[in-house]
């Protein structure tokens, strides 16, 4: 059984005349999860998720792509959290 997923970035016309990307459910779900967990900007998560998703466009098995995208995003934001210095007062990392 072969499962494929559309990875091309869809676009709609903006009322002002430009093209606006349509939200990809894979990207939106991951952006929401990482926003809630890491408190990062949703736009930044969407941008990075879209980049990661595009690198997987040629994968033979597309069923695992959303999982791999989320894994890569979590690794990225986890590393950023570990590198970020503590705020004044030494609050340290946020508890889970």
Range of the domain at 56: 20-82
In a domain, 49, yes or no: yes
Phi/psi at 5 (5° precision)? -135, 140
Question: How many angstroms separate the CA atoms of 13 and 33, rounded?
Answer: 28
Whether residue 14 is contained in a domain is answered as no
User: pLDDT band at 87, cuts 50/70/90?
Assistant: low
Number of domains in the chain: 1
Tokens 């009322």 belong to residue: 15
For residue 90, is it within any domain? no
Mean pLDDT of the chain: 75
* Residue 64 maps to a domain: yes
Q: How far apart, in whole angstroms, are the C-alpha atoms of residue 46 and residue 34?
A: 10
Give the DSSP letter of residue 8: S
b/e per residue 26-44 (b: at least 16 CB within 10 A): bbeebbeebbeebebeeee
Residue 42 inside a domain? The answer is yes
- pTM, whole model, 2 decimals? 0.60
């Amino acid at each position: 059984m072969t499962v494929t997923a559309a990875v091309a970035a869809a676009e709609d016309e903006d009322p002002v005349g430009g093209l606006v990307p349509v939200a990809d459910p894979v990207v939106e779900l991951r952006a929401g999860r990482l926003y809630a967990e890491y408190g990062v900007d949703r736009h930044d998560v969407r941008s990075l998720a879209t980049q990661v998703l595009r690198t997987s466009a040629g994968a033979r098995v597309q069923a695992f792509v959303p999982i791999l995208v989320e894994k890569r995003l979590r690794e990225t934001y986890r590393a950023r959290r570990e590198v970020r210095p503590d705020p004044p007062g030494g609050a340290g990392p946020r508890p889970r």
